[in-house]
Amino acid sequence: MAIVQHLIVDEYGSFVGKKSERLSVTCQGEKRLEAPIMHLETVLITGRGIGLSSDAVAACAEAGIPIHFLDTTGHPVGSLYSATLTATIQTRRAQLQARDSGRGLAFAKGIATGKIRNQSNLLKYLSKNRREKQPEVYSEVRLLADEVLDHLAELERCAGETVDDCRGVLLSIEGRAAQKYWSGVKRLFLTEVDWPGRRTQGADDAVNAALNYGYGILYGQIERALVLAGLDPYAGFLHVDRPGKASLVFDLVEEFRQTVVDRTIIAIFNRAMAVELDEHRRLTETARRSIAEKVLARLDGAEPYEGKRYALRSIIQMQARHLATFLRGERATYEPFVSSW
197-251 residue pLDDT tens: 898 877 789 999 999 999 999 999 999 899 889 899 999 999 988 887 899 999 9
Q: What is the pLDDT of residues 133-154, one digit of tens each?
A: 899 999 999 999 999 999 999 9
Average of per-residue pLDDT across 111-119: 97
| pLDDT at site 105 | 96
Give the other-Cβ count within 10 Å of 270's Cβ: 14
The CA-to-CA distance between both ends of the chain, in Å, stands at 36
Would you state the pLDDT for residue 84?
65
Distance from the Cα of residue 266 to its chain's centroid: 15
Q: Does the predicted model carry a pTM greater than 0.75?
A: yes
User: pLDDT tens across 61-72, in order?
Assistant: 888 888 988 887
Specify the range with the lowest mean pLDDT, choosing from 25-34, 162-171, 288-297: 25-34
- Cβ–Cβ < 8 Å for 66, 224: yes
Query: What pLDDT is stored for residue 283 in this prediction?
Result: 92
> So what's the pLDDT on residue 83?
66
Each residue's pLDDT tens digit, 158-193: 999 999 999 999 999 999 999 999 999 999 998 788
> Does the pLDDT value for residue 85 go beyond 70?
no
Distant-in-sequence, close-in-space partners of 74: CB < 8 Å, separation ≥ 6: 209, 212, 213, 214, 215, 216, 217, 288
Domains observed in the chain: 6-65 (3.100.10.20), 89-327 (1.20.120.920)
- State whether the Cα torsion 26-31-37-43 is positive or negative: negative
Question: Residue 333's pLDDT band (boundaries 50, 70, 90)?
Answer: very high
Q: Is 169 helix (H, G, I), strand (E, B) or coil?
A: helix
